[in-house]
Structure formats: structure tokens, C-alpha cells
Amino acid sequence: MSECLKLHIAQVFKDEVAKEGFSHVSIAKVMKKTGIRRQTFYESFKDKYDLLEYTIRSMMENDIESNIGYLDWEGIIFLVFYGIELNKKFYKSVYESQTEVDVVGEISRHIAVLLKKIIEEEGLAYDQKAHDFVDTFCLGLTYTMIDNLFRPQPLEYDVIASKVDNALHFTLNI
């Protein structure tokens, strides 16, 4: 299956989850909406959870890895927070409706790519201490994003992104 077709399936899946909730979305429903046969789906994805993992991964790659080299890291962080806010119904549903896919871990792994790049660009050694910092910071950052989705009055994405930028500037002395 082509990457374009997989992305199309992921988009329909994301939209359906945001509208109906993760537990109410079936592969049959997604295939009907895309006009694709079930067999075509199973050529690329094992099940609904595999599709969920792919969907989150492709969204994060689009916001983070695809922009490294084009945007400064501050801009990428704002983009990530904007993407989470834009897709908050999707993220809320998959976070609270299932445990098979580690939503926080998946997001955190992509943010770690950006932080590692920042550390290397600043000429700092990416040693065990840096690795531990990146792992811990990314998990904390991701939990902060997810927590904000469930607040009665969530902070705007740019407010949280600014706090993250400030924390990184302070911590890395940049």
C-alpha cells in the first residue's frame, strides 16, 4: 500500500475518532468511509491499534521531523502544541479509551528527536546525562500536554509552548 493511501486511512480514522470516540470506531467503518476494501487495510495494518500507532507517529513526524532544518526549534515546539490542540478530541479519546498504544510514549519519542537535535546544535555532548534529561523532559512535556487537554479551562497552546521554550533556554543555557 502506498504511503499516501496509508495517510488517507489515518486521516479518516483520526476524524472518526475525534467525532465518535475511539471505542466507537471500527475498521469496517473506516474502510467504508475511505472506500477501501478490508483486505487492503490488513495488508498494511494488523488492527485498529496498529493504525492508531501509525496515525500518531505520522502526525508527530509531520510536525517535528519534517520541519527540522526548515523551522527553528522554538517554532517546531509551537507547531507540536498547536497540533495537539487542533486534534484534542482525537488525543483525549485515545488517551482515555485504550491502553494498548502508549500515546504519551509515542509523542515523547518524537519530541526527543527534536531535543537531541537542539543539544547537538548547541555543541553540547549527548552523553548519558543528556539522554536522561531528554527522556525525563520529554515525558514531562508530553504529560503536560495531555493534562492540559483535560483541564476545565485549558491553557492556550502558545502559552504552554512559551513555557517549554523558556524552560529549555534556562536548562540548556541557550
Please, what are the domains in the chain?
50-172 (1.10.357)
pTM for this one?
Answer: 0.94
Sorted by sequence, the CB contacts under 8 Å of residue 137 that are 6+ apart come out as 115, 167, 171
Sorted by sequence, the CB contacts under 8 Å of residue 144 that are 6+ apart come out as 160, 164
* pLDDT of 174 above 80: no
Percentage of residues in the chain with pLDDT exceeding 90? 94
What gap in Å lies between CA 15 and CA 137, rounded to an integer? 30
What gap in Å lies between CA 35 and CA 68, rounded to an integer? 34
Question: What local confidence, expressed as pLDDT, does residue 168 receive?
Answer: 94
Question: What local confidence, expressed as pLDDT, does residue 173 receive?
Answer: 86
Mean per-residue pLDDT, 128-156: 96
pLDDT digits (tens, 9 = 90+) for 65-112: 999 999 999 999 999 999 999 999 999 999 999 999 999 999 999 999
CB-based contact 114:76 (threshold 8 Å): yes
What gap in Å lies between CA 82 and CA 96, rounded to an integer? 20
Is 68 strand, coil or helix? strand
Question: What local confidence, expressed as pLDDT, does residue 1 receive?
Answer: 73
* pLDDT of 27 above 80: yes
